[in-house]
């Protein structure tokens, strides 16, 4: 690419003129800038997806813990006491008022019959 100066109306203008046989492709600097911009955008997307996955796991854990809590309250209504840790299978038995079809992964239930604690690997504990 060559540049030619010309005078028009008493002022200097700089006009770019592509040579007839010249190559008008990208320079190495332009290519590197595009690669850096794409890398930054990819890093932002990876960070956002990773953060969303963690929030989804926390929400699933909280939902599972709430399901166990509702089942424990249902058993208490039916049997007039919370199921103890030894009888935690009552939470999955309809004849005892249990509402759970299966036990959720990552949730632990402990109780002495009067109070209970429901804890999860990725969520805060619920006590009652």
pLDDT digits (tens, 9 = 90+) for 48-88: 887 788 888 888 888 888 988 898 888 888 888 888 888 88
Tell me the three state secondary structure of residue 106.
coil
Angle at 88 between CA 116 and CA 67, to 5 degrees: 70
What pLDDT is stored for residue 41 in this prediction? 95
Q: What topology does CATH give the domain 26-127?
A: Glycoprotein, Type 4 Pilin (3.30.700)
What pLDDT is stored for residue 4 in this prediction? 53
What pLDDT is stored for residue 31 in this prediction? 92
Cα(24)–Cα(70) distance, integer angstroms: 70
Strands (DSSP E) found in the chain: 2-8, 11-17, 107-111, 116-120, 126-127
Domain locations in the chain? 26-127
- pTM, entire model: 0.61
- The answer, yes or no, to whether residue 106 has pLDDT greater than 50, is yes
Tell me the sheet residues that pair with 2: 17
What pLDDT is stored for residue 55 in this prediction? 86
Q: CB count, 10 Å around CB of 72?
A: 25
Structure confidence by residue, pLDDT tens digits, 23-54: 667 889 999 999 999 999 999 998 888 778 88
pLDDT confidence tier of residue 21, bands split at 50, 70 and 90: low
């Amino acid at each position: 690419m060559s540049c030619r100066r010309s005078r028009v109306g008493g002022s200097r203008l700089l006009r770019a003129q592509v040579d007839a046989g010249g190559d008008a492709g990208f320079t190495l600097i332009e290519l590197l800038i595009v690669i850096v911009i794409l890398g930054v955008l990819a890093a932002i997307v990876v960070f956002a997806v990773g953060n969303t996955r963690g929030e989804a796991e926390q929400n699933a854990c909280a939902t599972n813990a709430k399901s166990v809590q509702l089942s424990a309250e249902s058993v208490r209504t039916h049997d007039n006491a919370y199921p103890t840790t030894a009888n935690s299978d009552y939470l999955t038995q309809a004849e005892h008022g249990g509402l759970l079809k299966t036990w959720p992964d990552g949730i632990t239930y402990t109780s002495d019959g009067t109070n209970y604690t429901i804890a999860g690997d990725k969520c805060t504990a619920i006590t009652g």
